[in-house]
Structure 1
């Protein structure tokens, strides 16, 4: 069995009861599919009037003579019933039997499809849930290497392709082969010689069909990758629409998108045309087989007389009955190749190793009591050194500011403290416990983060703030908004804290969004607060309002302030000046000014209130 199919089928385990019911009804469908054609023989025997006259009831002897017994019993029944009630009445009984058999066959087919629906949609739901959960768990470094649009494509289109391909195979896995098997058994029962003759042509058809779909998986994989690429272009274009318009770059992005969709169009045409070829090709080969069958079967009926005309017509019906499941299996083999490509992309996400997780014996820690110790750490993104031999001690209740030019490694410290990335060398400890030994949830519960980009979600103000504390009351939310200097503008909104702020909070100004981010951190009420360039994107008036909010929030908390604007950190207890991943100066604001070093030069470049 295909390795990807094995892994995907694991998701069907919770729905195995539906699978068993589907198999049960598929077996009945396959059996009645064959029986409904066998039942045509006595009806046509009556019509043609060529039944064997048997007046004595036959006696069953052994299994080896079961075929002769059934034929004789059928002839006995037709002879007796026709003599008592007439041929027309016998014909009506035969028609009623055939209608009943076909009705049962289709009912069993419906019930089989009914139960497989729950399995298919359940697996679709569970794979999507697993991929979304995995996407949230994976480290930020994974998404710096992968396009977001590609991940979205895998969660949507590739998972849907799995449902259409792999899970479609579950439908044909039992029903179609069994339909073929039961029909072939019935065909052997009617004429062994004719059935052997048919089977000379079947392998030839299979070889021709399989050769057509060899390159399908490769083309499908390229198409999925191309779809991920143009979804990324859409995502980036909508996020950066202002920049695109301001630089008159609509044509550039439009061309990039159209080139990608053109490539996707060509790949999809190749895939679908090859897939569409499978059905007519298999049907044509089937008809060729039927035509040869008619010639040879006609010889057995008209020439040798070893086969009755009624049995031969029913036999032709059975032979054609094999074509539908054979076509379905042929299409399923094509789908399997497409499913392979989709499953490979889905499983790449699901099987991606997450290097940043809690240890099995992780230490639970609910409070911060003494200090944060950063001891001689080094860190690099891929091959680029960002921090080297960096050490820092932060006492509880103190505020420490990290300053320096862009690219000096300030924000990296925030990412390492929160374990968005892990250090390469050295240790970071909270109260003498290495953060890699702490439970991840406990570590992040101890830390509040306010970033330069105020990331808000398309929801109400209330629900945005409750991210930090799900059981917060309305009064607690209002108190947090007051501390963040945000309650004044929130109270003036049409629905107050129940107001929806739009996609990424686009109904609000930059300063308002940032104050809501601060209020969210205040509501969480962590003992350690990290402010990463929290005011750098604001105008002067907004900065003053946010600065007051930050000062309110930092009271009685251990704070790490990462700033480019030095006006925001002059009141910090300790200032660390960084350059190319190293500490070049540290001390209070006054001490560093008196040193007349790097900090003093940075201050001289900015207007300090």
Structure 2
């Protein structure tokens, strides 16, 4: 609990004004709540004709004596009315006093909740922003080890759980305990003996109730983990729905989804049973205490006659006034177990160290002048090396192609150049500056990338392209579309560049999506272009359109082309042939054919002339 408060503190600090006012109004709420019961004493005294007689109007002598002054003044007014045969006026005065006290209690209660609302919503909003910013900034390896559904659950569900349960207890931790404290102080003032008797039973009640909720946090954590799995299954099923249907795998995925739901149901019922038990259990234990108090207090009123009947009724009201906040605290403390489990999962992401971050004195590089160098690169995703002592040089303005069978390490080069991953040994340099010594932002500002999978967003064509250059004009966008050989189909769309392309560009063909990806890179206009198998997923006709777009884009630009289809790289200045992470040969297309080595075999296998 202490650790979570420490983690939440920086997010609560900007809302300290709301915290202060919440504390002030909670203090007043507890005060007026207790005072409301105390004002019952004069009303009951009037009803039972037990009013304390004060015949001389009291004098105000200062703030230190205000309690006695207020009590004497009220008794004086009531004495005047009863002595003049106007008991109904005395009763009306006490009723007005009670109404005024309850009115003030509810006004300050509303103001307390008002400030807590701003605190709760503001902090939740800031934590959600921080978590999204952290998710965006974390390196690619982090997500290769986690399910997207789990991250989404933490972002959406867990923060909501923190908002609902953690801040509920934050509200109660001031308001309700103060109500209990004020009530107990007043009870001690009325009767020390009776209050000590009550305290014999309270620890027993607390012990019984606390034992019920011990296992709630671990079960809440299990539910939240299973919820992450549930969202992952839904996301994966919808993404791969064609495969699911094509292989008649619906029963398999239904069973997987149903199994997770059944586990969540079992855990939720277990948690719900204990949560539901909290309220009746705390109320029952409270009533047992009240009943015992009635027996003992009745003895003091009827036999010992050490307490007046009207005072004892008020005392009972105060004792019951403890039950409501105690019940609320018990219920909230059970809910807090869910909130703490959710907060653990949220801060696990927020506190995750970024393994690919800028060095303290990182260089901001704004241009590319000479060359890209990869020097003795070694890299392994897990244990087996994907790249082994890999070295190449890419001069400015030249096109270097990387070819080889699947698993030879071609796409890894793209991941390392963009610093999606960092090399384990060796160095990648741009103009003789190690990319680890550059800011990640300035490095990626020099790069444009077109991948095999056209990653587009559910937005307009224009907004998809503006990711590359947010301040681009419509004219620049259209020009980029023309270079990418994409304007021919965009201009025929009903809304042109303002057409929404659907989820992941689902309203477009594969070739159209790829040309938009190229247009996005063209609009950014970076000095270095990385093409990672940009045509391998396309049919022959689409490939021709895209190949023209690529050639247009690569003119007068430094390009690293990762190719599966060798027909796309025959004009490259240097073709690097890779096998199991090592270079086996390199040269131009014609030079490599004349060697009649690995490249020639690959060309032959693809029936390329």
Question: What TM-score, normalized by structure 2, do the two folds share?
Answer: 0.98
Q: Which residue of 2 aligns with 1:158?
A: 158
Summarize the Cα distance change of 1:530–1:56 in structure 2 as closer, same or farther, 3 Å threshold.
same
Matched, 1:579 2:541: no
DSSP-derived class of the 2:390 partner:
strand
Q: Which residue of 1 aligns with 2:276?
A: 276
Higher mean C-alpha displacement, 500-509 vs 201-210: 201-210
Alignment deviations for residues 86-141 of structure 1 (CA, whole Å, 9 cap, x no partner): 11111001101100110110111111111111111111111111111111111111
Q: Which residue of 2 aligns with 1:410?
A: 410
Q: Which residue of 1 aligns with 2:537?
A: 537
1 CA distance for matches of 2:478 and 2:62?
Answer: 89
Higher mean C-alpha displacement, 493-502 vs 329-338: 329-338
Residue 199 of structure 1: CA displacement? Answer: 1.0
Q: Which residue of 1 aligns with 2:349?
A: 349
Q: Which residue of 2 aligns with 1:36?
A: 36
Q: Which residue of 2 aligns with 1:170?
A: 170
Alignment deviations for residues 421-441 of structure 1 (CA, whole Å, 9 cap, x no partner): 000000000000000001111
Contact 1:5 1:166 in 2 (8 A): no
1 CA distance for matches of 2:64 and 2:136?
Answer: 65
Residue 74 of structure 1: CA displacement? Answer: 4.7
Higher mean C-alpha displacement, 18-27 vs 244-253: 18-27
1 CA distance for matches of 2:423 and 2:390?
Answer: 11
Residue 80 of structure 1: CA displacement? Answer: 2.4
Q: How does 1:432-443 map to 2 (within 5 A)?
A: 432-443=432-443
DSSP-derived class of the 1:200 partner:
helix
Residue 70 of structure 1: CA displacement? Answer: 6.7
1 CA distance for matches of 2:514 and 2:186?
Answer: 76
Q: Which residue of 2 aligns with 1:226?
A: 226
List gaps (5 residues or longer) in structure 1.
none
2 CA distance for matches of 1:384 and 1:340?
Answer: 40
Residue 511 of structure 1: CA displacement? Answer: 0.1
2 CA distance for matches of 1:422 and 1:365?
Answer: 18
Contact 1:8 1:343 in 2 (8 A): no
1 CA distance for matches of 2:456 and 2:78?
Answer: 81
2 CA distance for matches of 1:585 and 1:285?
Answer: 83
Q: Which residue of 2 aligns with 1:568?
A: 568
Summarize the Cα distance change of 1:62–1:429 in structure 2 as closer, same or farther, 3 Å threshold.
closer
Summarize the Cα distance change of 1:422–1:73 in structure 2 as closer, same or farther, 3 Å threshold.
same
Q: How does 1:539-554 map to 2 (within 5 A)?
A: 539-554=539-554
2 CA distance for matches of 1:470 and 1:75?
Answer: 76
Residue 82 of structure 1: CA displacement? Answer: 1.7
Q: Which residue of 1 aligns with 2:130?
A: 130
Residue 200 of structure 1: CA displacement? Answer: 1.0
Summarize the Cα distance change of 1:394–1:85 in structure 2 as closer, same or farther, 3 Å threshold.
farther
Residue 5 of structure 1: CA displacement? Answer: 2.6
Higher mean C-alpha displacement, 312-321 vs 59-68: 59-68
List gaps (5 residues or longer) in structure 2.
none
2 CA distance for matches of 1:259 and 1:482?
Answer: 51
Alignment deviations for residues 409-468 of structure 1 (CA, whole Å, 9 cap, x no partner): 000000000000000000000000000001111100100000000000000000000001
Q: Which residue of 2 aligns with 1:118?
A: 118
Alignment deviations for residues 375-421 of structure 1 (CA, whole Å, 9 cap, x no partner): 00100012121101000011000000000000100000000000000
Contact 2:400 2:572 in 1 (8 A): yes
Q: Which residue of 2 aligns with 1:477?
A: 477
Residue 209 of structure 1: CA displacement? Answer: 0.9
Contact 2:377 2:423 in 1 (8 A): yes
Residue 360 of structure 1: CA displacement? Answer: 1.3
Contact 2:130 2:350 in 1 (8 A): yes
Contact 1:571 1:589 in 2 (8 A): yes
Contact 1:154 1:345 in 2 (8 A): yes
Q: Which residue of 1 aligns with 2:514?
A: 514
Residue 593 of structure 1: CA displacement? Answer: 0.8
Residue 185 of structure 1: CA displacement? Answer: 1.4
DSSP-derived class of the 2:421 partner:
coil
DSSP-derived class of the 1:428 partner:
strand
DSSP-derived class of the 1:165 partner:
helix
Matched, 1:422 2:384: no
Contact 2:77 2:90 in 1 (8 A): no
DSSP-derived class of the 2:200 partner:
coil
Q: Which residue of 1 aligns with 2:17?
A: 17
2 CA distance for matches of 1:213 and 1:551?
Answer: 67
Q: Which residue of 1 aligns with 2:309?
A: 309
Q: Which residue of 2 aligns with 1:80?
A: 80
Q: Which residue of 1 aligns with 2:331?
A: 331
2 CA distance for matches of 1:75 and 1:353?
Answer: 68
Summarize the Cα distance change of 1:83–1:551 in structure 2 as closer, same or farther, 3 Å threshold.
same
Matched, 1:186 2:186: yes
1 CA distance for matches of 2:28 and 2:501?
Answer: 57
Higher mean C-alpha displacement, 529-538 vs 332-341: 332-341
Contact 2:377 2:426 in 1 (8 A): yes
1 CA distance for matches of 2:59 and 2:438?
Answer: 82
Summarize the Cα distance change of 1:98–1:77 in structure 2 as closer, same or farther, 3 Å threshold.
same
Higher mean C-alpha displacement, 84-93 vs 597-606: 84-93
DSSP-derived class of the 1:390 partner:
strand
DSSP-derived class of the 1:201 partner:
helix
Summarize the Cα distance change of 1:194–1:405 in structure 2 as closer, same or farther, 3 Å threshold.
same
Contact 1:408 1:581 in 2 (8 A): yes
1 CA distance for matches of 2:128 and 2:267?
Answer: 25
Length, aligned pairs only: 609
2 CA distance for matches of 1:61 and 1:512?
Answer: 89
Residue 547 of structure 1: CA displacement? Answer: 0.2
DSSP-derived class of the 1:508 partner:
coil
Higher mean C-alpha displacement, 171-180 vs 185-194: 185-194
Residue 54 of structure 1: CA displacement? Answer: 3.9
Higher mean C-alpha displacement, 329-338 vs 276-285: 329-338
1 CA distance for matches of 2:390 and 2:68?
Answer: 93
Summarize the Cα distance change of 1:89–1:605 in structure 2 as closer, same or farther, 3 Å threshold.
same
Matched, 1:556 2:556: yes
Higher mean C-alpha displacement, 309-318 vs 475-484: 309-318
